[in-house]
A and B are shown apart, each in its own frame.
Chain A
Amino acid sequence: MIEPYLQVRDLHVWFDLQGGRSLHAVQGIGFDLGAGERMGLIGESGCGKTTAILALMGLLPPSASVAGSIVLGGREILAGGEESMRQHRWRDVAMVFQGAMNAFNPVRRIVDQIVEPMELHEVAEGKAAERRARELLELVGIPAARARSYPHEFSGGMRQRAAIAMALACNPKVLLADEPTTALDVMIQAQVLELLVGLTAELDLSLLLVTHDLLIVAQVCERAAVMYAGTVAEAGAMETLFHDPRHPYTRMLFGAAPDLYGRGDVVSIPGTPPRLDREIVGCPFAPRCDSAFDPCRVVTPETLAVGPAHLARCHLNDPSVRSAS
């Protein structure tokens, strides 16, 4: 565990639009994910978080172009394109999709759908694969007796568990979870999150939890990266992000979440995120920021280390910019 298992560096994703224009959905993000570590990727809709993890899975549509570097277990996997991504997909990096219903074929039994990736990747076959599928279902808390059910016979929470079992089929080392609990009730959400935490500890699995809900991340993850307009605005330990945010977006995002005990005012962030089909001048958050100053609107901030394992992309942390203004 000397090198982080997954290293993402300067990852860019563009989507071709009609009329020869393009949309720069992910604008050079980078992060590390160690073995057995749980990290959150937080951001609002359209910030590029889902695009980023689809890029990690190599599941982008044909209209996309990718650049950058993804190193998995010491090997660069992005440069080889679809071919090299496919070898790792599901085997090393697996994903739990947002809508659990869409992740399953409605007319095939759950167990067969968990066996499928195992046979594709030649992890296990026939009886052995089916036995493993049942074990996986037990592991996520579904009685093996229900293995031959169809997806519609499962409730939302059970389907999400089965989707997790399917992701674990090939014994991956990294699990990407895209809004795994968005459609679920709080109680079921708590069950699924508890399961995810338990699995990472039990299987030494790395978890990248992608969500808009930073309170969920606060509960589950040790570290998080906060994304805004295709960039990582701030990354660091969850406690640091909450108690010592070094990017106004992080601070304002925490301030916008209501507290159960009514402590503090809830203040929303005015305005809307910038359009990603145009070039952004200066800091992308500047128009909505409560502490923006002149350079923010002109100069694009660099990612700076603002503390141990704490990165932020804000001019407020750059003494040279501050003093110049």
Chain B
Amino acid sequence: MSGTPPTALAEDAALHETVTTRSRFRFLRSPALRKPATIVGLCVLVAFVLIAIFAPWLEPYDPRAKTGAVFEPPSAAHWLGTDDSGADMLSLIIAGSRVSLIVGFAAAFVAMIIGGTVGLASGFFGGRTDNVLMRITDYVLVIPDIPLMIVIAALFGRRLGNIILIIGIIYWTSTARLVRAQAKSVRERTYVKRVRAVGAGNNRLIWRHILPQVTPLIIANTVLMVAIAIFAETYITFLGLGDPSLISWGKLIENAFRGDAVLNGAWWAIVPPGVCVALVVLACTMLGQSMEDALNPRLRVGHVSVRRFRVLPAPLGDRAARDAAIHAEASKASKGSKGSKREKAAP
């Protein structure tokens, strides 16, 4: 008996719907997206994207050149000190943001394409297609990712493109499952059945009716995927499977370990790239989570507030008093008529 009954929420939602305009991206106006966490996440992500885009102009030094002593602590000349080869850490981090974000976004894109296609096909066609595709998805899901990454990287070489593909190929499964569920439910909507009954083929149904309906979900999921991909890039590179010719945050951490930064007490060589990875991952997670919350009404109900409805002072006035008088009179009269009615109904 606790909480709000479904009917109340449904009516509340219905009432809201009559007055707010609805479009495919209506969820962008959801309160879930106005939380401070979402805005902070968005700002952090945008800041890093801008840094990555304008990296060559922001780097104070050439990140590949020796511009100071080995493991020089932070100073006015080198804000974040230098690494084991005397290169400027700040420049390295700015340069590394490019590769890390490219891998993050590109791998998430690959995962989105594979997962989206598999999910859409599985959800829309159902039956045997669904069975086969979902079985494949299950297999990919249960393969331990790190050993697989090591094997693939060893087989196909340590190039940036390969790393993007590896991450994309390993992490598309959650997208596929989400999209499948959504496509399945849209397929059952009356308007899809109606258009099918009119004679429309699968192409039209998928491209014009189903895909647009699952797109917001795919986008939200992709944002979450960026976080996972950046994290994966970091540890692949840290394990020494990254592209050796490129500077990325994972590479910086790996270098710091190889160069015995810990033994030398050079925390500035490890902490800043680690913090950058953590910040971007956190930002994407917060943003993606809020987008999913905004899209998925069931999650939204989860945030039940402890606040109850308010009772306002009665808008008393002569109207209310008059109403009361009228009702009192009417109910007196009603007694009489009801009594007579009961007698009438008895025989």
Residues of A within 8 A of B (CB): 1, 4, 7, 9-10, 12, 15, 17-18, 21, 23, 25, 28, 30-32, 34, 37, 46, 50-51, 54, 58-69, 78-82, 89-90, 97-99, 102-103, 116-117, 120, 178, 222-223, 235, 237, 275-277, 302-305, 308-311
Give the residues in chain B near A15, CB-CB below 8 Å.
12, 15-16
Sample of 16 more A-B contacts, CB < 8 Å, known A10-B323, A34-B338, A65-B311: A9-B323, A10-B319, A12-B315, A30-B327, A31-B327, A32-B334, A34-B334, A37-B338, A46-B14, A61-B12, A61-B309, A80-B311, A82-B309, A97-B6, A275-B19, A311-B330
B8 within 8 A of A: yes
Given contacts A117-B1, A277-B19, contact A99 B338 (CB under 8 A): no
Query: Judging by beta carbons under 8 Å apart, are A82 and B308 in contact?
Result: yes
Shortest distance in angstroms between B2's beta carbon and chain A's nearest beta carbon?
Answer: 9
Please give the distance in Å from A214's CB to the nearest CB on chain B.
19
Contact, CB under 8 Å: B310 / A64: yes
Residues of the A chain whose Cβ atoms lie less than 8 Å from the Cβ of B338: 34, 37, 222-223
Report B310 CB to chain A, min CB distance, Å.
Answer: 4
Instruction: State the CA gap A190–B329 with chains docked (Å).
Output: 34
Is B46 in contact with chain A by the CB < 8 A criterion? no
Q: Which of B18, B327, B336, B341 contacts A275 (CB 8 A)?
A: B18
Q: Name the distance in Å between B212's Cβ and chain A's nearest Cβ.
A: 24
Check if B135 is an interface residue, CB within 8 A of chain A. Answer: no
Question: Which residues of A are found within 8 Å of B7, using beta-carbon distances?
Answer: 50, 54, 97-99, 102, 178
Answer yes or no: B299 CB below 8 A from chain A CBs.
Answer: no
Could you say which residues of chain A place their CB within 8 Å of the CB of B11? 50-51, 54
- The answer to whether B9 and A61 have CB atoms under 8 Å apart is yes
Name, among B12, B307, B309, the residue most crowded by chain A CB atoms within 10 Å (CB to CB): B309
Cβ-based interface call for B35 (8 A): no
Q: Nearest Cβ in chain B — how far from A139, in angstroms? A: 21
Q: Which 7 A-B pairs have the closest CB atoms?
A: A309-B334, A308-B333, A60-B309, A67-B312, A64-B309, A82-B308, A32-B331
How many A-B residue pairs have C-beta atoms within 8 angstroms? Tell me: 154
Contact A309 B1 (CB under 8 A): no
**How far apart are B22's CB and chain A's nearest CB, in angstroms?**
13
Structural contact, A65 and B312, CB atoms closer than 8 A: yes
Complex Cα gap A120–B2 (Å): 11
Q: Which residues of B contact A311 (CB under 8 A)?
A: 326-327, 330
Minimum Cβ distance to chain A for residue B202 (Å): 33
Interface contact A18-B330, CB-CB below 8 Å: no
Q: Judge whether B5 is part of the interface by a CB distance below 8 angstroms.
A: yes
User: Taking CB as reference atom, which chain B residue is nearest A179?
Assistant: B7
What is the bound-complex CA distance between A275 and B7, given in angstroms?
20
Bound complex: CA A21 to CA B308 (Å): 19
- Could you jot down 14 A-B contacts, CB within 8 Å? A12-B312, A25-B15, A31-B327, A32-B327, A32-B330, A34-B334, A51-B11, A60-B8, A61-B309, A80-B311, A89-B1, A97-B6, A98-B7, A308-B334
A178 CA to B326 CA, complexed, in Å:
27
In the complex, which residues of chain A have a beta carbon less than 8 angstroms from the beta carbon of B310? 64-66, 81
A235 to B331 Cα, complex, angstroms: 11
State the Cβ distance, B298 to closest chain A Cβ, in Å.
14
Q: With A and B bound together, what is the CA distance between A295 and B99 in angstroms?
A: 73
A51-B11, A222-B341 in contact; A9/B327 too (CB < 8 A)? yes
- Asked whether A66 lies within 8 Å of B311 as measured between CB atoms, the reply is yes
The closest CB in chain B to the CB of A39 belongs to B334
Q: Does B127 contact A (CB under 8 A)?
A: no
Contacts of A67 in B (CB 8 A): 311-315
Least distance between A318 CB and chain B CB atoms (Å): 13
Q: Are B320 and A10 touching (Cβ within 8 A)?
A: yes
Contact of A4 with B331 in the complex, beta carbons under 8 Å: yes
User: Which residues of the partner chain B approach A65 to less than 8 Å between Cβ atoms?
Assistant: 309-312
Interchain CA distance A277-B338 in the complex, whole Å: 38
Contact assessment for A303 and B12 in the assembled complex, using a CB-CB cutoff below 8 Å: no
Q: Which residues of B contact A98 (CB under 8 A)?
A: 7
Interface membership of B194, Cβ < 8 A: no
> Is the pair B19, A54 in contact by a Cβ cutoff of 8 Å?
no
By a CB distance below 8 angstroms, the chain A residues around B336 are: 308
Are A46 and B15 touching (Cβ within 8 A)? Answer: yes
Asked whether, in the complex, the Cβ of B307 is within 8 Å of the Cβ of A97, the reply is no
User: CB-nearest residue of chain B relative to A273?
Assistant: B18
**Contact in complex: B314, A69 (CB < 8 Å):** yes
Q: In this complex, what residue of A is CB-closest to B304? A: A62
Whole-angstrom distance between the Cβ of B236 and the nearest chain A Cβ = 43
Alpha-carbon separation in the docked complex, A37 to B20 (Å): 40
Cα distance A143–B324 in the bound complex, in angstroms = 46
Q: In whole angstroms, how far apart are the Cα atoms of A4 and B9 in the complex?
A: 31
Provide the residues of chain A in CB contact with B341, threshold 8 Å.
Answer: 222, 237
Q: Which of B31, B305, B309 contacts A66 (CB 8 A)?
A: B309
Q: How far is the CA of A23 from the CA of B20 in the complex (A)?
A: 12
- A86 to B7 Cα, complex, angstroms: 18
- Asked if A304 contacts B314 (CB within 8 A), the reply is no
| Cβ–Cβ contact A90 & B314, under 8 A | no
Decide yes or no: A116 and B29 within 8 Å by CB, A9-B327, A32-B327, A62-B307 being known contacts: no
Indicate whether B335 reaches chain A with its CB closer than 8 angstroms.
yes
B31 to chain A: closest residue by CB:
A18
- Nearest B residue (CB) for A3: B331
Within 8 Å of chain A (Cβ to Cβ): is B337?
yes
B245 adjacent to chain A (CB < 8 Å): no
User: Binary interface profile of B, 1-40, with partner A (CB < 8 Å = 1, else 0)?
Assistant: 1001111110110111011100000000101000000000
